[in-house]
């Protein structure tokens, strides 16, 4: 299966379990990968035969900067659902939501949740 990747997207959202997360907000980084057949796009050099990267970015932004959820798992799930709504040719999606600054004491780079969903099993 062919893939489109949009990596390192950065947003500001108000998701979290703790009051300070939902009041002050925090950064969220997102990596998105979708699976679909890109053979027609390659043959025709026509954007209509692919999925517009800007639309993938905007769908992700809409979710992350939109309605707050408590869990990063729920945020990842919502992103995948919105991505599947963009185009019926998207057969599979993997999203990784990275929380670089969670309110956890200790030394670490970040915490992240990655989910993978197949359209037929999910939508």
DSSP assignment of 76-91, as one string? Answer: HHHHHHHHHHH-TT--
List Cβ neighbours of 45 (8 Å cut-off, separation of 6 or more): none
In whole angstroms, what is the distance from residue 83 CA to residue 80 CA?
Answer: 5
Active site residue: 23, 61, 96, 99, which one?
99
A 10 A CB-CB count for 77 gives: 19
Say whether 7 sits in a helix, a strand or coil: strand
- Our answer to whether residue 23 is catalytic in this structure is no
Q: Annotated active-site positions, please?
A: 99
């Amino acid at each position: 299966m062919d893939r489109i990747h949009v990596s390192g997207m950065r947003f500001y959202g108000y998701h979290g379990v703790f009051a300070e997360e939902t009041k002050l907000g925090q950064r969220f980084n997102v990596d998105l990968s979708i699976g679909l057949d890109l053979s027609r796009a390659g043959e025709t050099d026509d954007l209509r035969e692919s999925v517009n990267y800007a639309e993938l970015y905007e769908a992700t932004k809409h979710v992350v900067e939109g309605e707050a959820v408590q869990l990063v798992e729920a945020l990842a799930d919502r992103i995948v659902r919105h991505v599947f709504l963009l185009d019926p040719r998207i057969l599979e999606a993997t999203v990784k939501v990275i929380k670089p600054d969670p309110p956890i004491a200790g030394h670490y780079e970040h915490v992240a949740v990655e989910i993978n969903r197949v359209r037929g099993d999910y939508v």
